[in-house]
Structure 1
Amino acid sequence: MSSTERNAKGHERSRPKVRSHTQAAPSQRTRAADPARLVAFEVLRAVSGEDAYANLVLPKSIRKHRLDKRDAGFATELAYGALRGQGTYDAILARCVDRPLEKLDPAVLDALRIGAHQLLAMRVPAHAALDQTVGLARAVIGAGPSALINAVLRKVAARDLGEWTALLTEGDTDAIRRAAIEQSHPEWIVRALRQSLVAHGRSVEEINDLLRADNDAPVVNLVALPGLGDLDEARAAGAVDGELVADSALFSAGDVGRLESVRAGTTRVQDAGSQLVARALAELDLDGVTPDEDGVEKWLDMCAGPGGKAALLAALAHEKGAVILANEPAPHRAQLVRQALDAVPGETWNVRTGDGRTVAEDYPETFDRILVDAPCTGLGALRRRPESRWRRQPSDVGELGSLQRELLLSAVDAVKPGGVVAYVTCSPHPAETKAVVADVLRQRNDLELLDAGAALDAVSLTGSLGAGHESTAQLWPHVHQTDAMFLALVRRKI
């Protein structure tokens, strides 16, 4: 058939071109929201609009929309990927929108981020990414915004991610700005992580490896509570044994909540880095500590909520005939701690609801071992909590610093002579790690640092993690495939 036809006057005219999938007539366009994309959109809206945490919102939304395993995996990748890539995607979108992004309806911006991630970082055909994202917008935002979203995403689709980042960084010789765009981190965090690498004895040249590790989807880490749980069910469901720490496994076979052992609390989701620091404290030899009359060691988890490390410590305490007090200031989080500890025999543990800074007033020189898992910026867990990188501000570091020092000072007053305090943060920032410990050591003449790197090696399956530096230890996502956990072991001299 000819591609032309004649009009009434006999002149040839072009036949209308067949519409592409993304240019479909209004009657042909997708009008319903795909459930998996709707889940991802709901997660982004809760995160940006309600300051929610993605890891709490996502499972609820998946269950609400009854996604099967495949769609749940797609929704998870889309939601977390859009959150991780937000900095890069926003820079790209700013080139494609005719107004500042802050002038857009937040729901429209979240839809654009979802579309950008599909187009630039997922194996989704461009026509499907466009059609489904526009259909989602039409269903949940409105017809008007959907037209804008369609136009913007068509501009985004004109280049691949490499071409976009090259365009955005063209001519820029500032390594920090380039890394911020290419690896989707705020500039201040790139700068802080560079400083952190150097402070903990590593090369600044590792920064791009570290930032890329932050953007990798982490595998779910499991721990079977020693003496109480096992990994048989998890292995049968596809888990493989962890290579860093005993009683651990890596699970990538879908919803871990379907495991009965997880529901019972004897197997828990916990990063291997958290497992290592808890075991390092529990297994440390305490020489010269005067035992109580009952001969029972007393342990304290000073900042216990929501209870993950407390549960592992309690199980280890139960094995060793020790007892543990779990302290948490927020009543609702204290209840979460009780729930986490429920799998451990009740004679082993107790929960105190109160400020950790006052523990020493009630329990002076009482405990053999104390864990201070201090509130911090969480810069070491950006791969698991990608929204944190966009919420945190440089001022948070200073504001948390005074609390961290006060908690550590309270702990060294509550520990017995000869006892040990493990100061832990899920952040490698030197202002939250080495500086806090150094300041407390300067204020007291009865404290000394033990070799935290050796303590981690002693409880690791590898026997040589290489995490130690100047008596403290720092784990890294790009080196150990864990969160960036910091550990200092402070001993109170006898």
Structure 2
Amino acid sequence: MTGSQRGGRRQGPPRSGHSRPERTVQPARKAAYDVLRAVSASDAYANLMLPAVIAEAGLDPQDAALATELTYGTLRRRGTYDAIIAAAADRPASDIDPAVLDALRLGAHQLLATRVAPHAAVNESVNLVAAAQGRGASSFANAVLRRISREGAERWQEIIESGARSDDERLALRTAHPVWVIRALRRALAAEERAAELDALLDADNVSPEVTLVALPGLAEPGDPRRPYAATAFASPGGDPHRIVAGSGGRIRVQDEGSQLVALALAAAAPIRAGERWLDLCAGPGGKTALLAAIAHESGVTLEANEVVPARAGLVRNALRPVPGEVVVHEQDGREFASGRPGAFDRILVDAPCTGLGALRRRPEARWRKSPADVAELVPLQTQLLSAALDALAPGGIVAYVTCSPHLAETTGVVQEVLRERPEYVELDAARVVAGLARNPIDLAEGSGHVQLWPHRHRTDAMFLALIQRPASDSQGD
């Protein structure tokens, strides 16, 4: 390619006085591109950024749906598109200017995975580059996208897979998951003797999740019972939750059914006695806190919450507004908070910070943002939080240890490590508790005691749950 096609340098603004038509971009594509840039440049979360961008642009429902599909579709298959772009550009994707690369990813997605007309996909992606980086970069983008447009998705898949160095690399390119994530998911499934389900799981990660609502107990009733398990969960009529959520005053909100089940399991793990003291130790952004608060209000229980990040603590307070009564929200390091209150709580939810590999359907950028180094950094924190929570249990009290990740180091590895130091504590049969909650049969691994939910099997995020009980005091009268 010529020097003007190198794609990484701004060539300066077009000279004035020319009659070349102004470059325009359809609003949905511009919204998708803006979100992609924010994710790449600022580590933004697409699920938080996209609604704000759509609202600011004033998109109608049809354009909003297009912007959503373009954003999430591009993010999900980013690794595959980068390999295709690298082949078409004859250079590593990492050598391409980031603003240009995001436009190329968006164009590749439209060309290879949507019914968008090829000329529209190419022209508008080139216009995005021209507006962001100038004419030289737009010439480069035009050449790359036109080369991509000459072959179909299957042929490009053959091209990029031909250079794979292992079966796992081929699978990574085919399913748009990093190799390390594929191996972690395979190990987690193999622990249940279900490694053969890996392809189904990877496919499920690349499908937009169904919108699921929660009706806070005692405050709202599910409007549509077509959900498989949790009594608080129901499908959003027509897939659009905004009307019913907005009209509920916060008593109904969007929440994955897996998140509902793990919170409900803590409440159902043993009969509730009036006057119990509960704690949500890592409460942000507050969805599980609100569900526990509604149950606590019905049961004569006191609930407290803690969240170390002030902005997320604010989200917890907002989530609790519809629930009667007061829930005090503390803002401390969870390890210090729990360690300073030995024996104080009857039930504690530890929804630990994790890699989020269980929510790749709804946060697809996490697969490209996380690395094995994140696991190594998070596991000590998870272990310390669980240890501190167990110390904060009253005799006979129960901790629910939860992650939105199936990675064995973050799940069973943490539980085993903590219980090794506390042999007197008992891991309860969380699978029995969840099965007792489910209003329809639920397919859980047998014999493990803990619960691992899966997108392909349960249509939930891949939530992990372990229930751990402190032994009752020697003077137990129960």
TM-score (norm 2): 0.91
Tell which deviates more after alignment, 161-170 or 219-228.
161-170
User: Does the Cα contact within 8 Å between 2:122 and 2:145 map onto a contact in 1?
Assistant: yes
User: Does the Cα contact within 8 Å between 2:400 and 2:467 map onto a contact in 1?
Assistant: yes
Secondary structure at the aligned position of 1:72 is classed as helix
User: Does the Cα contact within 8 Å between 1:245 and 1:461 map onto a contact in 2?
Assistant: yes
Tell which deviates more after alignment, 94-103 or 313-322.
94-103
Mapped to 2, the partners of 1:251 and 1:28 lie a distance apart of 47
**In the alignment, structure 1 residue 243 sits paired with structure 2 residue 222:** no
Structure 1 residue aligned with 2:409: 431
**For 1:18-417, what aligned pairs fall within 5 Å after superposition?**
31-170=23-162, 172=164, 174-199=166-191, 201-232=192-223, 241-251=226-236, 253=238, 256-261=241-246, 264-286=249-271, 295-347=274-326, 349-417=327-395
Q: 1:79 to 1:147 in 2, by over 3 A?
A: same
User: Does the Cα contact within 8 Å between 2:211 and 2:239 map onto a contact in 1?
Assistant: no
Q: 1:136 to 1:361 in 2, by over 3 A?
A: closer
Structure 1 residue aligned with 2:400: 422
Secondary structure at the aligned position of 1:312 is classed as helix
Query: 1:171 Cα deviation (Å)?
Result: 7.3
Tell which deviates more after alignment, 249-258 or 152-161.
249-258
Mapped to 1, the partners of 2:194 and 2:220 lie a distance apart of 40
- Any idea what the Cα deviations from partners look like across 1:27-72, whole Å, max 9, x if unmatched? 8978211100000000000000111110111011101111110110
User: Does the Cα contact within 8 Å between 2:297 and 2:325 map onto a contact in 1?
Assistant: no
Q: 1:325 to 1:153 in 2, by over 3 A?
A: same
Amino acid at match of 1:226: P
Amino acid at match of 1:316: I
- Any idea what the Cα deviations from partners look like across 1:288-347, whole Å, max 9, x if unmatched? xxx6xxx41111111001101001111111111212111111122111111111111124
Query: 1:255 Cα deviation (Å)?
Result: 5.3
Query: 1:191 Cα deviation (Å)?
Result: 1.1
Amino acid at match of 1:491: Q
Secondary structure at the aligned position of 2:410 is classed as coil
Query: 1:364 Cα deviation (Å)?
Result: 1.6
Query: 1:141 Cα deviation (Å)?
Result: 3.6
Mapped to 2, the partners of 1:483 and 1:439 lie a distance apart of 25
Q: 1:220 to 1:107 in 2, by over 3 A?
A: same
Mapped to 2, the partners of 1:484 and 1:254 lie a distance apart of 21
Mapped to 2, the partners of 1:66 and 1:140 lie a distance apart of 22
Q: 1:420 to 1:260 in 2, by over 3 A?
A: closer
Return 5+ residue gaps in structure 2 as ranges.
Answer: 1-17, 473-478
Secondary structure at the aligned position of 2:139 is classed as helix
- Any idea what the Cα deviations from partners look like across 1:363-405, whole Å, max 9, x if unmatched? 2212111110011111111111111111101011111111111
Mapped to 2, the partners of 1:171 and 1:315 lie a distance apart of 54
Amino acid at match of 2:356: G
TM-score (norm 1): 0.88
User: Does the Cα contact within 8 Å between 1:262 and 1:268 map onto a contact in 2?
Assistant: no
Structure 2 residue aligned with 1:452: 430
Mapped to 2, the partners of 1:227 and 1:465 lie a distance apart of 28
User: Does the Cα contact within 8 Å between 1:449 and 1:489 map onto a contact in 2?
Assistant: yes
Secondary structure at the aligned position of 2:187 is classed as helix
Mapped to 1, the partners of 2:131 and 2:300 lie a distance apart of 59
Mapped to 1, the partners of 2:438 and 2:396 lie a distance apart of 24
Mapped to 2, the partners of 1:266 and 1:88 lie a distance apart of 41
Q: List structure 1 segments (4+ residues) > 6 angstroms apart after TM superposition.
A: 26-30
Secondary structure at the aligned position of 1:64 is classed as helix
Mapped to 2, the partners of 1:413 and 1:356 lie a distance apart of 12
Mapped to 1, the partners of 2:106 and 2:163 lie a distance apart of 29
Secondary structure at the aligned position of 1:346 is classed as coil
Mapped to 1, the partners of 2:43 and 2:237 lie a distance apart of 27
Mapped to 2, the partners of 1:400 and 1:318 lie a distance apart of 33
User: Does the Cα contact within 8 Å between 2:339 and 2:389 map onto a contact in 1?
Assistant: no
Mapped to 2, the partners of 1:361 and 1:420 lie a distance apart of 16
Amino acid at match of 2:98: P
Mapped to 2, the partners of 1:230 and 1:141 lie a distance apart of 52
Mapped to 2, the partners of 1:64 and 1:203 lie a distance apart of 45
Mapped to 2, the partners of 1:305 and 1:152 lie a distance apart of 43
Return 5+ residue gaps in structure 1 as ranges.
Answer: 1-25
User: Does the Cα contact within 8 Å between 1:37 and 1:75 map onto a contact in 2?
Assistant: yes
Query: 1:142 Cα deviation (Å)?
Result: 2.6
Secondary structure at the aligned position of 1:264 is classed as coil
**In the alignment, structure 1 residue 482 sits paired with structure 2 residue 460:** yes
Secondary structure at the aligned position of 2:329 is classed as strand
Secondary structure at the aligned position of 1:303 is classed as coil
User: Does the Cα contact within 8 Å between 1:138 and 1:145 map onto a contact in 2?
Assistant: yes
Mapped to 2, the partners of 1:458 and 1:386 lie a distance apart of 32
Amino acid at match of 1:205: A
Amino acid at match of 1:243: P
User: Does the Cα contact within 8 Å between 1:299 and 1:367 map onto a contact in 2?
Assistant: yes
Q: 1:55 to 1:469 in 2, by over 3 A?
A: farther
Structure 2 residue aligned with 1:22: none
Secondary structure at the aligned position of 1:82 is classed as helix
Mapped to 1, the partners of 2:443 and 2:20 lie a distance apart of 58
Mapped to 2, the partners of 1:123 and 1:319 lie a distance apart of 51
Query: 1:172 Cα deviation (Å)?
Result: 4.9
Q: 1:452 to 1:30 in 2, by over 3 A?
A: farther
